[in-house]
């Protein structure tokens, strides 16, 4: 059946807020998403104040977080939320029945396999008219959590401490979680809708009231000028993040709809616009596409902080930090002077997940395998694969340029500034060039776009890799902790 003009108000979840959706002219799935996150924010404050560790047992906190999370999932996604519960239950069975040496493999295959099947089903359900917030988003977060826990459980029970890196040893899980702990970790209301993925040990420490104390001990709070154990409040961090959320929402409502990505492949635009102007417009439309991500991820971070989760310690000035679960660093993104710096500050928790379950464990070709996993995790739309395969090529070329050329520009401040400005421009344009297919999704518009850009980034990247010598990278995936401590200067990707 063809879509009617009322299609923007469709949703797979509750239609309770349809009048508000019609009044504002905003798709109902987006209205439901924002409503759930705002309600989650209020619930998070209540959870911290009235169900804090000093007022309620861990079991009560787990149960409350789980039940509210299930309600939000059903409200937003209706019967499609069954996919979330099926995947959670299947992997709980694997976690309890599989042998420890294989638990991470079985969990990974089942979780990624089920996610991929759901991605395929979305092609037939939504075609390319995909809903902005469908059930696949939470399913992707749950897949991250399942595989994270499985790997950390394998590290904690199936491997010796000396076989692990320092990070793997710190995050290793020594005992299988109970059913309630497992459900709470995967389905809690703070992260069910928009994430982010967090480590199991951090989450359990938060529920049990050890989270803040544990992080303060890690940074040695006495050396930060405190004479007694401080009790940091997240209120300031939450207010700051809500301000960013509000600005992002305004930018989304004003900029994003006025600068559609599809215009850069419009025939009239291509015929009448010179190449450099098209490059400039590409930068503008890419910038305009960011506010919705800034909004969703910053609001999700604020929800977790409001519940008292996300404390990461004390900075060098003695100020409390609430960025343990932050998914982006906007300043570093907008000022990035390398492809690597951009990636490291965009969707931070997903990058951390990719590193922990793939990059650090891949026996060979870690960069390529990580990009492939990232593409599979995002979905099966062809545009995703154009983006991530192009990303591999540009990452390797950028690394070659940095390794071979950067040291020539460090001898004086003007030279260093010239290098930084040039690399900022190239990085921002390279990112725009790379992510355009991610938004376009289909093959035909992607090829049309790259033709209009003369495949210039592909050609330049290939020339760089052919002409510049490639310095070998040390891959320390299996290095035991004691060897890492003895030779900590080595790293894989610099």
Catalytic residues, by residue number, are 347, 378
How far apart are alpha carbons 253 and 250 in whole angstroms? Answer: 5
Stretch (H or E) spanning 24: helix 18-24
Phi, psi of 145 (to 5 degrees): -65, -40
Calpha distance 393→390 (Å, rounded) = 5
Dihedral of CA atoms 143, 146, 147, 148 in degrees, nearest 10, equals 110
φ/ψ of residue 238, rounded to 5: -65, -45
**3-state class (DSSP) for residue 346:** strand
User: Would you say the C-alpha torsion 161, 164, 166, 169 has a positive or negative sign?
Assistant: negative
- Nearby residues of 374 by Cβ (< 8 Å), 6 or more positions away: 350, 354, 388
Closest CA to 103 of 65, 67, 151, 148: 151
Q: Which residues make Cβ contacts (< 8 Å) with residue 406, sequence separation at least 6? A: 419
| Beta-bridge partner residues of 328 | 346
Retrieve residue 185's tokens.
Answer: 């970790």
DSSP for residue 51: S
DSSP calls for 266-332: -HHHHHHS-HHHHHHHHHHHHHHHSHHHHHHHHHHHHHHHHTT----EE-TTS-EE--TT--B-HHH
Q: Where are the alpha helices (DSSP H) in 51-188?
A: 58-77, 82-97, 103-126, 136-158, 166-171, 179-187
Check the CA dihedral 194-199-205-211 and report its sign: negative
| Cα 298 to chain centroid, rounded | 11
């Amino acid at each position: 059946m063809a879509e009617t003009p009322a299609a923007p108000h469709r949703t797979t979840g509750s239609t309770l807020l349809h009048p508000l959706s019609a009044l504002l002219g905003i798709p109902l799935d987006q209205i439901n998403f924002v409503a759930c996150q705002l309600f989650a924010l209020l619930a998070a404050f209540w959870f911290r104040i009235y169900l804090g560790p000093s007022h309620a047992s861990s079991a009560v906190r787990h149960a409350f977080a789980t039940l509210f999370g299930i309600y939000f999932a059903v409200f937003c996604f209706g019967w499609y939320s069954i996919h979330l519960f099926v995947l959670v239950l299947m992997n709980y069975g694997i976690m309890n029945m599989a042998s420890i040496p294989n638990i991470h493999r079985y969990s990974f295959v089942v979780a990624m396999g089920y996610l991929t099947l759901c991605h395929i089903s979305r092609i037939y359900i939504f075609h390319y008219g995909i809903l902005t917030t469908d059930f696949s988003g939470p399913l992707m977060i749950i897949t991250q959590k399942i595989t994270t826990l499985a790997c950390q459980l394998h590290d904690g029970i199936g491997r010796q401490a000396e076989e692990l890196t320092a990070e793997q040893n710190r995050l290793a899980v020594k005992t299988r979680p109970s059913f309630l702990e497992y459900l709470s970790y995967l389905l809690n209301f703070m992260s069910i809708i928009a994430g982010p993925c967090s480590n199991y040990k951090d989450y359990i420490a938060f529920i049990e009231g050890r989270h803040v104390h544990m992080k303060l001990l890690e940074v040695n709070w006495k050396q930060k000028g405190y004479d007694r154990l401080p009790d940091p409040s997240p209120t300031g961090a939450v207010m700051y993040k809500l301000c960013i959320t509000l600005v992002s929402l305004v930018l989304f409502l004003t900029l994003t709809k006025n600068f559609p990505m599809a215009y850069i492949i419009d025939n009239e635009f291509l015929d009448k616009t010179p190449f450099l102007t098209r490059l400039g417009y590409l930068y503008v439309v890419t910038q305009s596409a960011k506010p919705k991500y800034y909004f969703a991820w910053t609001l999700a971070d604020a929800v977790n902080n409001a519940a008292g989760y996300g404390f990461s310690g004390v900075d060098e000035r003695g100020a409390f930090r609430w960025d343990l679960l932050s998914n982006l660093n906007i300043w570093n993104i907008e000022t990035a002077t390398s492809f690597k710096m951009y990636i490291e500050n965009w969707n931070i928790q997903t990058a951390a997940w990719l590193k922990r379950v793939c990059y650090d464990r891949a026996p060979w070709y870690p960069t390529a395998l990580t990009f492939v996993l990232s593409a599979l995790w995002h979905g099966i739309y062809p545009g995703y694969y154009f983006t991530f395969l192009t990303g591999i090529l540009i990452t390797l070329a950028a690394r070659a340029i940095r390794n071979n050329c950067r040291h020539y520009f460090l001898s004086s401040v003007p030279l260093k500034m010239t290098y930084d400005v040039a690399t900022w421009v190239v990085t921002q344009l390279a990112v725009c060039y790379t992510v355009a297919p991610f938004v376009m999704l289909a093959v035909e518009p992607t090829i049309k776009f790259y033709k209009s850009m003369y495949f210039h980034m592909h050609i330049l990247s290939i020339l760089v890799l052919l002409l510049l010598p490639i310095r070998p990278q040390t891959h320390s995936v299996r290095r035991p902790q004691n060897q890492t401590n003895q030779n900590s200067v080595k790293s894989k990707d610099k």
